[in-house]
């Protein structure tokens, strides 16, 4: 039985996308050798040394998560949508066989890589499970949630890979949302009214939605459509990884019609602080043309200093590079 089976307290969470430079050579879609260091986020986004408890904290993957991940990834192995340098189809069963030999919880240690980089924070491990993770990960499609949790007074980091799928809320994300809602509901430092607003904000409702609509004068920032019935108040830094104050902060919101909300949420578009749109290479150019989107188009996103912090997070952690 996994150590998380009997419950745990969620302390903090981090999310990162897996780039092509990290994955094992068999899974690559570009040139160059893969590297074991992993970019977890910019140094301005979080106090990473504190998050990792000065690297004294036990880290683990669970066998169940890895099996679920590979089950979800099977469609990609069988019908490859990316131009991999190798045919990855025959590797699926081999990798499932490797996972079957693992214990329920696979513990490992990490350390900071590239101590001199003041902007980007890299982690690495010399343990076998880290090498396996690099073999399992598919560039761009794989993301990693790292949950800092407490069990019986001890801290752990739970590494949870998942496949980003359009229109599908992955099991890992669902579990994390449920735990974050539980965390909000059990927080006795906030009022019942605030708890209600925090949970409503997850789906772009309540005071968060009203404040975002007000900020943007009830118009989608891209299309200028002004029928509030079809407008979505979208979090820039996702709700599930935001602190309570960030969940409700109107500066952490943009107003979209549903199509653009989905594009933004899935990381196919982002914005520079100036309002210039950024288009991901991982969405078909023909579709951008249909939507009349061109790189460097500018929109009035009303970027305040606080919004720029959230935009930096979106560009670094959500946008598909």
Residue 122 lies in a domain: yes
Section 264-269 average pLDDT: 92
Of 180, 200, 220, the last residue of a domain is 180
In this predicted structure, the answer to whether residue 235 has a pLDDT above a threshold of 60 is: yes
Helices (H), the chain: 48-51, 63-78, 91-100, 128-136, 171-186, 192-201, 206-215, 244-248, 258-265, 285-290, 305-313
Section 89-116 average pLDDT: 94
Q: HEC string of 164-176?
A: CCCCCCCHHHHHH
Of 180, 203, 219, the last residue of a domain is 180
d(CA 189, CA 93): 49
The candidate with the shortest Cα–Cα distance to 17, out of 143, 141, 122, 134, is 143
Per-residue confidence (pLDDT) for residue 142, from 0 to 100: 93
Per-residue confidence (pLDDT) for residue 214, from 0 to 100: 96
Q: Are 204 and 183 in contact (CB under 8 A)?
A: no
d(CA 19, CA 164): 13
Residue 185 lies in a domain: no
pLDDT tens-digit map of 71-97: 999 999 999 988 898 899 999 999 999
Section 192-221 average pLDDT: 87
- Average pLDDT of the chain is 91
pLDDT tens-digit map of 304-317: 999 999 999 999 88
The answer on 295 and 166 residing in a single domain is: no
Per-residue confidence (pLDDT) for residue 33, from 0 to 100: 65
d(CA 143, CA 90): 22
Residue 4 lies in a domain: no
SS3 (DSSP) at 57: coil
Per-residue confidence (pLDDT) for residue 169, from 0 to 100: 58
Of 180, 200, 229, the last residue of a domain is 180
Residue 15 lies in a domain: yes
pLDDT tens-digit map of 151-166: 999 999 999 999 987 5
Percentage of the chain exceeding pLDDT 70? 97
Per-residue confidence (pLDDT) for residue 167, from 0 to 100: 52
Longest dimension (CA), the chain: 57
The answer on 298 and 168 residing in a single domain is: no
SS3 (DSSP) at 308: helix
The answer on 120 and 66 residing in a single domain is: yes
The answer on 16 and 154 residing in a single domain is: yes
The answer on 288 and 236 residing in a single domain is: yes
The answer on 167 and 205 residing in a single domain is: no
Per-residue confidence (pLDDT) for residue 29, from 0 to 100: 87
Residue 187 lies in a domain: no
Residue 85 lies in a domain: yes
Per-residue confidence (pLDDT) for residue 168, from 0 to 100: 53
The answer on 222 and 74 residing in a single domain is: no
The answer on 171 and 51 residing in a single domain is: yes
- Residues in a beta bridge with 127: none
How many C-alpha atoms does 170 have within 13 Å on its Cβ side? 23
The answer on 157 and 119 residing in a single domain is: yes
The answer on 223 and 142 residing in a single domain is: no
Tell me how many helices (H) and strands (E) the chain has: 11, 12
Task: Give the total number of structural domains in the chain.
Answer: 2
Can you give the residue range of the structural domain that contains 284? Answer: 192-318
The answer on 260 and 149 residing in a single domain is: no
Section 216-238 average pLDDT: 95
Residue 3 lies in a domain: no
pLDDT tens-digit map of 22-40: 999 889 988 766 789 999 9
The answer on 272 and 217 residing in a single domain is: yes
Per-residue confidence (pLDDT) for residue 166, from 0 to 100: 56
Residue 306 lies in a domain: yes
DSSP letter for each residue of 65-90 = HHHHHHHHHHHHHHS--S--SS--TT
How big, in percent rounded to 5, are the helix, strand and coil portions of the chain?
A: 40, 20, 40
Residue with tokens 């007074």: 153
Cα–Cα distances in angstroms (integers) from residue 147 to residues 11, 36, 51, 156, in the given order:
8, 21, 10, 8
- Residues in a beta bridge with 304: none
């Amino acid at each position: 039985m996994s150590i998380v089976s009997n419950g745990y307290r969620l302390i903090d969470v981090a999310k990162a996308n897996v780039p092509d430079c990290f994955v094992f050579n068999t899974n690559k879609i570009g040139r160059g050798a893969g590297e074991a260091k992993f970019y977890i986020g910019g140094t301005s986004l979080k106090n990473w040394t504190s998050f990792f408890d000065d690297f004294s904290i036990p880290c683990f993957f669970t066998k169940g998560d890895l099996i679920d991940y590979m089950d979800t990834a099977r469609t990609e192995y069988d019908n490859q949508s990316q131009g991999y340098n190798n045919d990855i189809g025959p590797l699926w069963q081999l990798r499932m066989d490797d996972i079957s030999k693992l214990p329920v919880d696979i513990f490992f240690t990490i350390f900071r890589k590239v101590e001199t980089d003041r902007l980007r924070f890299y982690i690495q491990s010399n343990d076998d499970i880290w090498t396996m993770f690099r073999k399992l990960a598919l560039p761009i499609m794989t993301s990693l949630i790292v949950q800092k949790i407490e069990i019986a007074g001890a801290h752990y980091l739970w590494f949870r890979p998942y496949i980003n799928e359009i229109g599908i809320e992955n099991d890992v994300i669902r579990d994390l949302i449920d735990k974050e809602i539980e965390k909000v509901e059990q927080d006795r430092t906030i009022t019942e009214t605030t708890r209600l607003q925090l949970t409503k904000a997850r789906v772009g409702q309540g005071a968060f939605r009203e404040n975002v609509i007000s900020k943007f004068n009830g118009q989608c920032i891209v299309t200028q459509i002004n029928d509030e019935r079809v407008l979505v108040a979208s979090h820039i830094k996702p709700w599930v990884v935001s602190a309570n104050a960030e969940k409700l902060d109107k500066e952490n919101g943009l107003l979209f019609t549903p199509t653009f909300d989905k594009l933004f949420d899935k990381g196919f578009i982002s914005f520079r602080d100036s309002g210039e749109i950024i288009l991901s290479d991982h969405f078909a150019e023909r579709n951008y043309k249909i939507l009349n989107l061109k790189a460097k188009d500018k929109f009035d996103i009303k970027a305040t200093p606080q919004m720029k912090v959230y935009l930096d997070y979106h560009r670094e952690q959500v946008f598909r590079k």
